[in-house]
């Protein structure tokens, strides 16, 4: 009778919940802290509510001791988090208000270096806070100490749609401010013993895994990304393939790679014949060594600690439990700094592992039929082809079960943070995982051979070439999966129709035009060499736009995108050029190199209007002399007017007073609803006679960043506003969008939310 009562009690929901918590105590404790932090960020009384819930649940399920432990853990984590936040706010106020001075600190990661500049997270000496350090000169190595003269500033909000939000990213990473080194100051660099050893080891590993390979090939790039986490920032096509195939975790060192290294070491060490208890310690040591070798990035270190906790169970003759290993590492992380939950990488790392730990029982059942043993045959008698076929089906079933659980766990997070859903990732895992495992295995073999390179050079070369073929296979598999219909959905893409006028620095200019929903986008100017990459390309990527044509307004370096960068990053097939000759090197690359890359060039002097699809067209109001290359670029602006759904948008660009007078003297119709105006470097623009002739209702002014040259008078802007013209100053409002909607034109600023709606009836002239 007592046994029956006990069995009945186990079947009750409360009893089953109690048993489940007893099996995963560390994970449950960590989840209480997660709940408390989420509630505190969303509700004014979130923390007390979470504390009360923990006390009630603990008391009902287990008693006062458990309730008290849960409450103490919540209070400790939240209390330390609040204390850290208050300390950092106090330090931030001091740093930002301080004058330029000398500061020093220690690098926390490998810096990003280019053209004599570098930037990296640094922990400041004496302040014990993290900042984003922008230095000059030779790039230091991770762990080295830097000293320079400069000052701090706050990160700015993004000014364009889809632009990388540095302010939010720094907040998530716990960095308070940006340190800018003085332009003419000379910084000091001290490389300690261990940072030097690790930097030398990483350099040797890069040489070993790339020996005999073309460093710019897809295979070499994938090997470096998979083994060391070196993402090819200059190859956006390759990174997009991995992102849209749901395989971005393959392309950077993460828990997957650490786990594969642990499996490799375990398999090799198992050949020695030692028992599990004796294999755990060397495996853990080598896993942490690999994490350090890859730059000790946070996902790799978290995975190394999780592997250490998971495998450590063998030392105590306990059965390893993934959920408790996850809970132990997460619990320590949250008590140390609960604010790390703000990081997408932390959410994805622990969210995916949680989904695998608790979702595998369900997903395994989904594919159990695929891995089932042959019917009507004892397992001991399965041999030959049937045995291999059965093992292959078992591997497929287990891989599909893991990838399905991981995909389900990652889907809501990738949708929330990146607006991307990749159902194809489940299938991509079947192709990627075995290839990545082999890539890591062959890379490790090359690393082992590297100390004897003089004797083993040919073997290393052969190994790396085979590895290069496998890595190229990874890249092609990613491209194939990314191109599958409905393989990925980008939910935050721009639907159109819309004209986005971007806000760029240093007098650069660019806009993107999508004339109809689902149509092809076009660029009007491309920014400069730096602003084209950031923020223009990143904005286009987040908007889901891939322009295939370009209209250049004048041969200025701040408007032609650095030349070849444009057609290498975007699928450009056609470009309209304003002039035939120019002194700008970047503009000349359009004329000399673009045709060889499959870009068809059209000279504006060859036609008066350009059809742009869906009834839209562009007409030229002023065509500059195509051959007079001695004139300054801003005196050679192609002024055009966009006719779009009954609206007229005059694109004045950087044209000045002289160009305006030429158009006025031509006595042609200049009327438009909107003027998009840039900044001439040495001349006035937007004279009263010209504005009166155009009769605009809205004027969009660029940020006018030429500090030492002629600047637009604020009285002029006030005069326009008094005349009833709405003025969008991009220095205050950021990017501006124009959208035709049911007979009206909605014009909206990205940064400050300024909005105006023009009605079609008032547009009649």
Query: What per-residue confidence (pLDDT) applies to 713?
Result: 66
- The continuous run of DSSP H or E covering 188 comes out as strand 188-190
Tokens of 645: 């759904």
Cβ atoms of 132 and 117 closer than 8 Å: no
pLDDT at 412 over 60: yes
Query: What per-residue confidence (pLDDT) applies to 304?
Result: 87
What is the residue whose two structure tokens read 């659980």? 405
Instruction: Taking residues 636-640, report their average pLDDT.
Output: 94
pLDDT at 763 over 50: no
Instruction: Taking residues 263-276, report their average pLDDT.
Output: 77
Identify the three-state secondary structure at position 233.
coil
- Using CB atoms within 10 A of its CB, is residue 175 exposed (0-12), middle (13-18) or buried (19+)? buried
Instruction: Taking residues 23-46, report their average pLDDT.
Output: 92
Query: Lowest-confidence range among 151-155, 301-305, 669-673?
Result: 301-305
651 — pLDDT class (breaks 50, 70, 90): very high
Cis omega before residue 480 (within 30°)? Answer: no
Which of the two residues, 233 and 54, has the higher pLDDT score?
Answer: 54
DSSP, res 549 = E
518 — pLDDT class (breaks 50, 70, 90): confident
Q: Which of 731, 728, 732 is nearest to 717 (CA)?
A: 728
Cβ atoms of 186 and 152 closer than 8 Å: no
Beta bridge partners of 150: 101, 181
- Using CB atoms within 10 A of its CB, is residue 337 exposed (0-12), middle (13-18) or buried (19+)? middle
What is the residue whose two structure tokens read 């990749």? 422
DSSP 496-510: SSEEEE---STT--E
Cβ atoms of 453 and 460 closer than 8 Å: yes
Query: What per-residue confidence (pLDDT) applies to 33?
Result: 95
Query: What per-residue confidence (pLDDT) applies to 6?
Result: 44
The whole-angstrom separation of Cα 756 and Cα 23 is 60
The whole-angstrom separation of Cα 543 and Cα 398 is 36
Cβ atoms of 670 and 650 closer than 8 Å: yes
Tokens of 718: 């006030």
Q: What is the pLDDT of residues 166-199, one digit of tens each?
A: 999 999 888 999 999 988 766 788 888 888 888 8
What is the residue whose two structure tokens read 């280019």? 114
Cβ atoms of 34 and 334 closer than 8 Å: yes
765 — pLDDT class (breaks 50, 70, 90): very low
Q: What is the pLDDT of residues 342-389, one digit of tens each?
A: 988 889 888 888 888 888 888 888 888 887 877 666 767 777 777 888
Cβ atoms of 494 and 545 closer than 8 Å: yes
Strands 609-613, 616-622: pairing kind:
antiparallel
pLDDT at 94 over 60: yes
Distances (CA, A) of 404 to 307, 356, 367, 475: 22, 9, 10, 22
Query: What per-residue confidence (pLDDT) applies to 376?
Result: 62
Cβ atoms of 522 and 612 closer than 8 Å: yes
DSSP, res 111 = P
Most confidently modeled range among 427-431, 522-526, 610-614, 740-744: 522-526
pLDDT > 90 fraction of the chain, expressed in percent and rounded: 40
pLDDT at 10 over 60: no
- The continuous run of DSSP H or E covering 618 comes out as strand 616-622
Instruction: Taking residues 462-473, report their average pLDDT.
Output: 93
Length of the chain, in residues: 765
Residue 525 φ then ψ, to 5°: 65, 165
Tokens of 203: 């350099």
Cβ atoms of 613 and 634 closer than 8 Å: no
- The continuous run of DSSP H or E covering 522 comes out as strand 522-526
Q: Which of 294, 299, 305 is nearest to 348 (CA)?
A: 299
562 — pLDDT class (breaks 50, 70, 90): confident
Query: What per-residue confidence (pLDDT) applies to 7?
Result: 46
What is the residue whose two structure tokens read 């004339």? 515
Query: What per-residue confidence (pLDDT) applies to 680?
Result: 85
Q: What is the pLDDT of residues 664-696, one digit of tens each?
A: 998 889 999 999 998 888 888 898 999 999 999
Residue 147 φ then ψ, to 5°: -145, 130
Query: What per-residue confidence (pLDDT) applies to 588?
Result: 92
- Spatial neighbors of 459 by CB under 8 A, at least 6 apart, are 449
Q: Which of 307, 294, 146 is nearest to 227 (CA)?
A: 294
The whole-angstrom separation of Cα 109 and Cα 237 is 25
Beta bridge partners of 117: 114, 136
pLDDT at 157 over 50: yes
Cβ atoms of 114 and 155 closer than 8 Å: no
Cβ atoms of 521 and 546 closer than 8 Å: yes
Q: Which of 627, 571, 625, 616 is nearest to 598 (CA)?
A: 571
- The mean of the pLDDT values for the chain is 87
């Amino acid at each position: 009778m007592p046994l029956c009562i006990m069995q009945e009690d186990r079947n009750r929901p409360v009893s089953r919940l109690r048993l489940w918590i007893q099996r995963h105590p560390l994970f449950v404790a960590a989840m209480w802290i997660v709940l408390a932090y989420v509630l505190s960020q969303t509700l004014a009384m979130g923390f007390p509510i979470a504390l009360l819930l923990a006390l009630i649940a603990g008391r009902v399920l287990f008693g006062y001791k458990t309730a008290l432990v849960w409450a103490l853990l919540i209070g400790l984590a939240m209390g330390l988090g609040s204390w850290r936040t208050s300390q950092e706010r106090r330090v931030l106020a001091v740093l930002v208000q301080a004058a330029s001075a000398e500061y020093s600190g220690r690098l926390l990661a490998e810096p990003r270096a280019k053209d004599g500049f570098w930037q990296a997270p640094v922990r400041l000496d004496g302040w014990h806070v993290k900042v984003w350090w922008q230095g000059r000169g030779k790039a230091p190595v991770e762990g080295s100490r830097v000293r320079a003269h400069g000052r701090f500033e706050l990160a700015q909000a993004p000014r364009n749609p889809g632009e990388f939000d540095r302010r939010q990213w720094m907040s998530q990473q716990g960095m308070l401010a940006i340190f800018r080194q003085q332009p003419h100051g000379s910084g000091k660099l001290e490389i300690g013993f261990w940072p030097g050893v690790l930097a030398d080891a990483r350099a040797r590993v890069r040489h070993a895994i790339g020996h005999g390979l073309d460093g710019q090939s897809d295979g070499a790039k994938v090997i470096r990304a998979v083994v060391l986490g070196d993402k090819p920032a200059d190859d956006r096509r390759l990174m997009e393939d991995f992102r849209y195939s749901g395989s971005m975790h393959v392309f950077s060192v993460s828990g997957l790679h650490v786990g594969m290294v642990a499996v490799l070491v375990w398999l090799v060490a198992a050949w020695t014949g030692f028992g599990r208890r004796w294999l755990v310690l060397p495996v853990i040591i080598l896993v942490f060594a690999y994490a350090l070798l890859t730059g000790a990035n946070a996902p790799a270190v978290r995975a190394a600690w999780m592997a250490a906790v998971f495998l450590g169970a063998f030392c105590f003759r306990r059965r390893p439990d993934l959920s408790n290993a996850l809970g132990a590492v997460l619990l320590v992380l949250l008590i140390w700094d609960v604010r790390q939950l703000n990081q997408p990488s932390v959410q994805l790392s622990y969210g995916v592992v949680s989904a695998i730990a608790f979702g595998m029982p369900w997903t395994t059942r989904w594919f159990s039929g695929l891995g089932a043993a042959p019917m009507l045959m004892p397992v001991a008698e399965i041999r030959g082809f049937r045995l291999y076929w059965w093992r292959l089906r078992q591997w497929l079933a287990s891989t599909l079960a893991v990838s399905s659980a991981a995909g389900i766990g990652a889907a809501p997070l990738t949708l929330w943070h990146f607006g991307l859903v990749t159902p194809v990732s489940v299938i991509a895992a079947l192709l990627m995982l075995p290839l990545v495992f082999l890539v890591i295995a062959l890379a490790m073999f090359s690393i082992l051979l590297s100390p004897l390179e003089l004797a083993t050079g040919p073997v290393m070369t052969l190994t790396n070439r085979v590895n290069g073929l496998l890595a190229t296979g990874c890249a092609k598999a990613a491209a194939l999966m990314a191109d599958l219909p409905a393989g990925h959905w980008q939910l935050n893409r721009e639907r159109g129709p819309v004209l986005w006028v971007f806000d760029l620095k240093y007098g650069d200019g660019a806009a993107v035009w999508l004339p109809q929903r689902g149509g092809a986008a076009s660029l009007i100017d491309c920014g400069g060499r730096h602003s084209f990459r950031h923020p223009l390309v990143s904005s286009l990527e987040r908007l889901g736009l891939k322009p295939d044509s370009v209209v250049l307004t004048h041969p200025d370096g701040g408007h032609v995108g650095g030349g070849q960068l444009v057609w290498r990053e975007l699928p450009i097939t056609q470009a309209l050029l304003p002039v035939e000759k120019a002194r700008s090197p970047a503009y000349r690359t359009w004329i000399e190199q673009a045709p060889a890359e499959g870009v068809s060039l059209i000279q504006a002097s060859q036609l008066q209007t350009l059809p742009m699809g869906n009834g839209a067209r562009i007409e030229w109001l002023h065509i500059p002399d195509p051959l007079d290359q001695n004139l300054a670029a801003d005196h050679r602006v192609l002024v055009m007017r966009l006719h779009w759904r009954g609206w007229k948008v005059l694109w004045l660009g950087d044209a000045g007073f002289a160009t305006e007078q030429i158009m006025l003297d031509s006595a042609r119709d200049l009327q438009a609803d909107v003027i998009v105006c840039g900044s001439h470097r040495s001349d006035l623009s937007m004279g009263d006679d010209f504005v009166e002739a155009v009769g605009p209702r809205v004027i969009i002014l660029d940020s006018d960043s030429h500090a030492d040259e002629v600047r637009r008078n604020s009285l002029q802007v006030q005069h326009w506003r008094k005349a009833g013209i709405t003025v969008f100053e991009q220095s205050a409002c950021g990017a501006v969008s124009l959208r035709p909607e049911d007979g009206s034109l909605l014009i909206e600023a990205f940064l400050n939310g300024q909005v105006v709606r023009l009605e079609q009836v008032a547009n009649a002239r």
